[in-house]
Amino acid sequence: MSEINRAVKGTNDILPDKSYKYRFVENKMLETAELFGFKEIRVPVFEHTEVFSRNVGEDTDVVQKEMYTFEDKGGRSITLRPELTAGVVRSVIERGVINGALPAKVCYIGGCYRYEKPQAGRLREFHQFGVECFGAANPAADAEIIALARQILVTLGVKGISLKINSIGCEHCRKNYVAALKSYFEEYKDTLCGTCNGRLNRNPLRILDCKSPICSEIAAKAPLITDYLCDDCKAHFAAVKESLTAQGVMFDVDPHIVRGLDYYNRTVFEFVSGDIGAQSTVCGGGRYDGLVAKMGGNDTPALGFAIGIERLMMLLENTEAPFPEDKKCVLYVAAMGDKAQIKAGGVCAALRDDGIAAQCDLCGRGLKAQLKYADKIGAAYTTVLGDNELADGKVTVKDMKTGETYVCNINDISDKITDLSLKSALHSLEESVLTNG
RNA sequence: GUGGAUGUAGCUUAGUUGGUUAAAGCGCCGGUUUGUGGCACCGGAGACCGUGGGUUCGAGUCCCAUCUUCCACCCCA
């Protein structure tokens, strides 16, 4: 296979044998978000580079080395979005969404692009479902979006995930904390790993979730952010935890979780799984009260989260979560002879007008091959059109599962199929009630 | 960016110490007398053995490089 005919490194094709699962999951997420009042927003895949570089954070890995940035023909610096929050915030400011009723709640699904080395749960093009809530400073909002994330995961049948939450404070209390951290880590300057040594001045917070055994041992005894929170932040975090408990959401406080993007403050959280390899965060999010103002909007508190769709799918598949079956062909109309083939097209058209999935031969194949095909695509019913049927206007419909046959007029075939489908659905419902109690 | 593993038909694999037209199963297409799929039997298409170099009379088999995929670090969803 030549280079040019291969998918670009770190990209994935979702083929028909799986795409229906993605659609199911995406629809479920949107529907669940809607229960909480989140409406879908669609924003461009690319933005001016500054939208990300300034707001995600100049110092972050995402901005420093992972963005797909290029100059367009008008000389603009453009970047393929590495995440959706910054673009959504740009949009709600620019289009005045946050000048309407607050809180404004939006959700989205879309592709993101990061130039990273691919591995399990990490692609260069990946997809996120996320929500953003603008204008709510109250801890009730934090609890609500966490509850929403949890409900989405639970609704989809996710197993074995845990919720970790933390508060990284506001600007003011974080300043004190970072100073304390810095002086603590200074003592271990020579034992810290290379990257952490560099982080010491840049962003000592990041040392806390370094996975090197040496650093994590040192980090284990580092001062805790929770001890440095100002009274307001402390009260806010306490209220979030209280609300979560009241809503029956189980969580662990993990003082070492730190989001990697600069805009977060106060509440941060992630849902983590042990079933999808090293990239274990399925959902991550938090509050970002300063971002809207920073991007030129009115000072508006905000918060949100994002779910990695590919990671979620991995998790669902690895834990054998149930999916509904893909939609199959309902009636396959086999034809014998040229006249019948033309008639078969007409029969299918009429059925489709009634919303029934119908197919017929497009290859000019023999009867046997047509039925073989009908079997392969999982057609529920088949019927054969030949000279006899054309002459007397009656057809035999065969149930491919049971082998039973039914005779009806060609013109009544749509009604017959609807009738049979209903009966069969009722039957399987009865059976499942019987077997499951 | 760093490290480890991998690469033979659509899929899963075989391929002996380098030797003539690279096998098999599954899948795909067709047939077993144009009136009924699943089973069985028969036949067919389909691989420049990831790519590019090199060693050799001769390489899928050896060497080098490169790319992909997978896994981990890093980072994040």
- A437 pLDDT more than 60: no
pLDDT of residue A207: 80
Of chain A, the percentage scoring pLDDT greater than 70 comes to 98
**In angstroms, how far is B20 C1' from A1 CA?**
27
Q: Is the pLDDT of residue A292 over 80?
A: yes
Kindly state the average pLDDT of the residues A277-288.
95
pLDDT at A3: 60
pLDDT at A201: 73
- Nearest residue to B48 (CA, C1')? A1
Report the alpha-carbon distance of residue A303 to residue A62 in Å, rounded: 20
CA/C1' separation A175–B27 (Å): 63
Q: Which CATH number fits domain A331-424: 3.40.50.800, 3.40.50.300, 3.40.50.10860, 3.40.1410.10?
A: 3.40.50.800
Report the nearest residue to nucleotide B1, CA vs C1': A117
Q: CA–C1' distance A118–B62 (Å)?
A: 32
**Range A17-33 average pLDDT:** 96
Q: For residue A114, give the nucleotide whose C1' atom is nearest its CA.
A: B76
Q: Considering all nucleic acid strands, name the nucleotide whose C1' atom is nearest to the C-alpha of residue A62.
A: B75
pLDDT at A417: 96
Instruction: Considering only CA atoms, name the residue closest to the C1' of nucleotide B30.
Output: A369
Q: How confident is the model at residue A203 (pLDDT cuts 50, 70, 90)?
A: confident
3-class SS string, A299-331: CCCEEEEEEEHHHHHHHHHHCCCCCCCCCCCCE
Predicted confidence band of residue A205 (pLDDT cuts 50, 70, 90): confident
Spanning CA of A114 to C1' of B75, the rounded length in angstroms is 11
Nucleotide lying nearest to A306, CA to C1' measure: B77
**pLDDT tens-place string over residues A138-161:** 999 999 999 999 999 999 999 999
pTM over 0.90: yes
The pLDDT of residue A19 is: 94
Instruction: Quickly give A216 CA vs B34 C1' distance in Å.
Output: 76
A212 nearest nucleotide via C1' and CA = B73
Q: How far is the CA of A3 from the C1' of B18 (A)?
A: 29
Q: Is there a shared CATH topology between the A3-170+230-318 domain and the A331-424 domain?
A: no
pLDDT at A32: 98
Q: Provide, in whole angstroms, the distance separating residue A1's CA from nucleotide B19's C1'.
A: 28
The pLDDT value given to residue A2: 56
Domain boundaries, chain A: 3-170+230-318, 331-424
User: A217: pLDDT confidence band, cut at 50, 70 and 90?
Assistant: confident
List pLDDT tens digits, range A56-93: 998 888 999 999 999 999 999 999 999 999 999 999 99
Rounded average pLDDT over A47-53: 97
What nucleotide is nearest A83 when CA is compared to C1'? B77
- Of all nucleotides in the shown strands, which has a C1' nearest the CA of A391? B35
Nucleotides on strand B lying under 7 Å from protein C-beta: 1-3, 28-32, 34-38, 50, 67-77
Q: Which nucleotide is nearest to A127 (CA to C1')?
A: B77
Between A213-227, A239-253, A280-294, the lowest mean confidence (pLDDT) is in: A213-227
CA of A123 to C1' of B71 (A): 14
CA/C1' separation A433–B3 (Å): 54
Asked whether the predicted pLDDT for residue A198 surpasses 60, the reply is yes
A5 CA vs B7 C1’ separation (Å): 17
**Candidates 3.30.930.10, 3.40.50.1820, 3.40.47.40, 3.40.640.10; correct CATH number of A3-170+230-318?**
3.30.930.10
Please give the pLDDT value at position A258. Answer: 79
What's the mean per-residue pLDDT of chain A? 92
Q: pLDDT, tens digit, for every residue of A107-143?
A: 999 999 999 999 999 999 999 999 999 999 999 999 9
Closest nucleotide to residue A120 (Cα to C1')? B71
